[in-house]
Amino acid sequence: MPELPEVETVRRGLEPVMTGQVMARVAVNRPDLRWPFPPDMAARLTGKRVLHLRRRSKYILADLDSGETLLIHLGMSGRMLISGDPLGRFVQEHPAKEKHDHVVIDMESGARVTFNDPRRFGAMDMFASEQGDAHPLLASLGPEPLGNDFSESYLVGALKPRNMPIKSALLDQKIVAGLGNIYVCEALFRTGISPLRKARNVSKARLQVLVSAIRDVLSEAIDAGGSSLRDFRQTDGELGYFQHNFDVYGREGDACRNADCNSRISRVVQSGRSSFYCPTCQR
């Protein structure tokens, strides 16, 4: 599933094509994805101008001049692909319709945004913009890891009562929003913290370093266009390439990249998710 850097990469790709632009025609080609589309979604979107395009956790939010907000979740395999951009930033010709093109948005500018989702685990919803983050999918989310509310003091307080492993705690979207398996593994390696260590036993000093490592790994991944492991594509169809920089994720049995370490990367399953780490460097 795309994590924060992949979703932010998609948002940044959509922004110059959608923000300030009118959705001239909207086609919804099936009744549902992960759950049913909102009633009359095509009609509610057609003719509306996108005022802002933002991200909250792993959701893209388009605020419209109608007073409604369109919520988009990419799911496991969802892609937002752009064609026909009149400014030449994307391929000019619109591609032939594909089987899994479930929502197609033609902008007044001539650009087209297509939501393609072969596995249909993605989702779209609409709600009144004045609700802010009160939508059920957003209401319980923790702070953004790249925002000012995510700090050493916040993390110390949030983890103090947690008897679960630090890896599991960081994946809890109520503690911090948008983090996923890949980037938690990478951040823990950079700080030398074992994914098995109890959250409440991680010292304040190490949590301070962890906050910086999380910010750094996410920023680097965004700059690299995210990580493409299976289905993820940027809005122009290109792959992200941060996967070439992984220190531990997916590298079970490979040598640790720390120069003074002779260990190999291990994998352990935690809450149904694979954690990759160096048993020597991470304690």
Per DSSP, the three-state class of 207 is helix
Residue 165 is given by DSSP the state: B
Cα 236 from Cα 228, distance rounded (Å): 14
* Active-site amino acid positions: 2-3, 58, 273
- 153 vs 246: CA distance, rounded Å: 28
Let me know: does 103 contact 112? Beta carbons within 8 Å.
no
Helix (H, G, I), strand (E, B) or coil at 52: strand
The span from the CA of 120 to the CA of 23, in Å, is 23
Query: Coil, strand, or helix at residue 222?
Result: helix
What is the spatial distance between Cα 187 and Cα 210, in angstroms, rounded to a whole number? Answer: 7
